[in-house]
Amino acid sequence: MSDTFMDTIAAREKQAEERRARLAKVQFISGEKMMQKHYPEPRYLWQGILPDSGLAVCASSKASGKTLLLLQLADAIARGREFLGIPTTAAKVLFLELELSDRRTVQRLRTMGVVPNGNIEFTYRWPQGEEGLKTLSDAIEEHSFELVFVDVLQNLWPVGADYNSYQDSYAVLAPLRQLANDLGVMIVLVTHNRKMAAADFMDGVMGSVGIVANADVILSIQRQRGESEAVLFIEGNDVESKQIALRFESDPLGFTLSDASPAELGQTQERREILSAIRELGGTAKPGQIAALLDKERSSVSHALQKMAKLGIVSMDGYGKYTIHTVHTIHTSQNKPDIKADCDVYDESTPIHTVHTLEDIPSEDKATVNTVNTVNTVNTVNTVNTVNTVNTVNTVNTVNTVNTVNTVNTTIEESEPNSEATPTDPPKIRLGKPRADWPAIFKNNEGDSELGLF
């Protein structure tokens, strides 16, 4: 054989070895096997917000209080206690404070009323670039840290990398994200917002979009300098988007939950003053009362309230009083009836309500019948000995069959002594009209001569 032929064979064998070496670095799994594999449920360090591994970015303007908020969060997770009303899971925390000295950090913690325990450690110097990444990996493995804060990211950034370059940002953060996932640790990177305001808070993160692209969770505090109210925006890959209204406190220093809603904090100063006045007046107030409290013209306050009512910020009752519009969760009884099962005709687009007799209502619930945002009345008359009235009071599932029903008068008649009905038969309930006058939808009901639906 010629030398050329042998050289070609050797080159091909070398290429095959290199290909096998490259493929050995990756792992393939079929979709079928992947779907059959058992994966543990996601674990959160801050319930529903910070997973136990991955990369998070916290971006806010200077002097917005982001370091204060993260110090509060770090202390809460180190102790495993709630923060802003949200549960946390106890974990060992490393806080890279690369902007403040240890003396200033201690002063700030004392002003915050925070005394860190042994589950949180601080450091104030860290190498940059690839050496910093390796040092971080060593520290996590050596000390079993589960949560790492880097304040700020710019002090960890490699000297030669362009912060505004997508390619450089991806080259720096992709290995850091991979490190976090491989070691099962959550790394929170703190950075700044651009000076120019952005319509979307995610667009306001300083630097390349590659920073946001590599983040599993994005946190942003929106707070104007000198303002006591703030909003924490939360976005993420496997995290439900949410906004948390905060209040900045000076004694002790830090953030607490605000009584206002995030949407309310986005209103103008005039509207916020009106909402605060309504709260101060007990939650319900007339325009004249609000105007007197704020020392403003009644006409201007009334005009503002009308606009706010159209936007759904406030609502007005029939007596000219305004209340702040809120959404409440309605809890129903565990023994609530199966509406779909009990109704012969069910339409997904129509709210279904059920009329119950006194026998259907538990004894402890006979005093009240609940309804949602309506003034429908159910008068139930028992003709046996006494007349009992069940008045509507509060919440859930009262009247309707298929069409809207506002008032239902139902008469319960006890069977006559000579009737064929036995004592065990349920009381007969009549609509008060001959069957011939019933709506067609009820005439078609099969079964007993009395309509079984009622």
Q: Is residue 329 part of a domain?
A: no
How many distinct structural domains can be found in the chain?
A: 4
Give the mean pLDDT of 24-38.
Answer: 92
pLDDT at 355: 39
The better pLDDT of the pair 160, 408 is held by 160
- One domain, residues 155 and 303: no
Which amino acid would we find at residue 348? E
Q: Does 330 fall in a domain?
A: no
Q: Is 11:18 a contact under the CB 8 Å cutoff? A: no
Query: Using CA atoms, how far apart are residues 140 and 94, in angstroms rounded to an integer?
Result: 9
pLDDT category at 232 given cuts 50, 70, 90 is: very high
What is the per-residue pLDDT across 155-187, written as a single tens digit (0 to 9) for each?
888 888 887 888 888 888 889 999 999 999 999
State the CATH number of the domain containing residue 272.
1.10.10.10
Whole-number Cα distances in Å, 342 to 147, 392, 402 = 52, 22, 12
Q: Does residue 9 sit in the same domain as residue 100?
A: no
pLDDT of 162? 84
- Residue 309's pLDDT is what? 86
Q: What is the pLDDT of residue 371?
A: 35
Whether the pLDDT of residue 358 is over 60: the answer is no
Are residue 207 and residue 228 in the same domain, yes or no? Answer: yes
For residue 262, pLDDT over 90 is answered with: no
Measured CA to CA, the distance from residue 256 to residue 65 in angstroms comes to: 12
Question: How far is it, in rounded angstroms, from Cα 232 to Cα 242?
Answer: 8
CB 98 within 8 A of CB 124: yes
Tens digits of per-residue pLDDT, 74-84? 999 999 999 99
Q: Cis link prior to 423 (omega < 30° from 0)? A: no
pLDDT band, very low/low/confident/very high, at 377 (cuts 50, 70, 90): very low
51 has which bridge partners?
44
Q: Is residue 118 in some structural domain?
A: yes
Claim to verify: residue 306 and residue 371 sit in the same structural domain: no
388 falls within a domain: yes
The label of the residue with tokens 């939360």 reads 234
Q: Which two tokens stand for residue 419?
A: 């009737």
> Which tokens in the block code for residue 418?
């000579």
For residues 396 and 253, state if they share a domain: no
| Whether 9 and 80 share a structural domain | no
Same-domain check for residues 131 and 210? yes
Residue 278 inside a domain? The answer is: yes
- Could you give the angle at the alpha carbon of 401 between the alpha carbons of 398 and 406, nearest 5°? 55
200 part of a folded domain: yes
My answer on whether 232 and 315 are in the same domain is no
The helix or strand, by DSSP H or E, that contains position 219, with its residue range, turns out to be strand 217-222
Beta strands in 237-321 (DSSP E): 242-250, 253-257, 284-285, 314-316
Q: Residue 194 has which token pair?
A: 């651009």
Q: Could you tell me if residue 175 is inside a domain?
A: yes
% pLDDT > 70, the chain: 67
Confidence category of residue 237, pLDDT binned at 50, 70, 90: confident
Answer whether residue 420 shows pLDDT above 50: no
342 token code pair: 């009990």
Average pLDDT, the chain: 75
Q: Which tokens go with 220?
A: 């942003």
Sequence length of the chain is 454
For position 444, what pLDDT does the model report?
A: 56
| Confidence at residue 228, expressed as pLDDT on a 0 to 100 scale | 84
Same domain, 237 and 300: no
Rg of the chain's alpha carbons, rounded to an integer?
Answer: 33
**What pLDDT shows up at residue 198?**
54
The listed range with the strongest mean pLDDT (313-317, 368-372, 423-427) is 313-317
Statement to judge: residues 65 and 21 lie in one domain: no
pLDDT attached to residue 197: 57
Model confidence at 28, pLDDT cuts 50, 70, 90, reads very high
Q: DSSP labels for 388-444?
A: ----B-S-S--S-SSS--SEEEEEEEPPPTTSS--TTSPPEEE-SS-GGGS-HHHHT
pLDDT in tens, 90-140: 999 999 999 999 999 999 999 999 999 999 999 999 998 889 989 999 999
pLDDT of residue 47: 95
- Residue 44 pLDDT > 80, yes or no? yes
Q: Quick check: is 123 in a domain?
A: yes
pTM of the model: 0.59
Domain stop point among 219, 239, 264: 264
Name the residue range of residue 25's domain.
3-36
As given in the structure block, the two tokens for residue 279 are 């709260």
Q: Identify the pLDDT of residue 447.
A: 46
Tokens (6 digits) for 140: 């996590």
402 has pLDDT over 60: no
Residues 188-205 have pLDDT tens digits of 999 887 655 555 555 556
pLDDT over 90 percentage in the chain: 37
Per residue in 426-452, pLDDT tens? Answer: 444 444 556 666 666 555 555 444 444
Q: What is the pLDDT of residue 79?
A: 96
The CA-to-CA distance between both ends of the chain, in Å, stands at 98
Instruction: Write the burial class of residue 294 (CB in 10 Å: 0-12 exposed, 13-18 middle, 19+ buried).
Output: middle
Q: CATH no. for residue 251? A: 3.40.50.300
**Residue 8 class from Cβ within 10 Å (0-12 exposed, 13-18 middle, 19+ buried)?**
exposed
Domain boundary among 324, 343, 363: 324
288, containing H or E segment? helix 287-294
Q: Does one domain contain both 259 and 309?
A: no
Same domain, 12 and 49: no
Predicted pLDDT at 64: 87
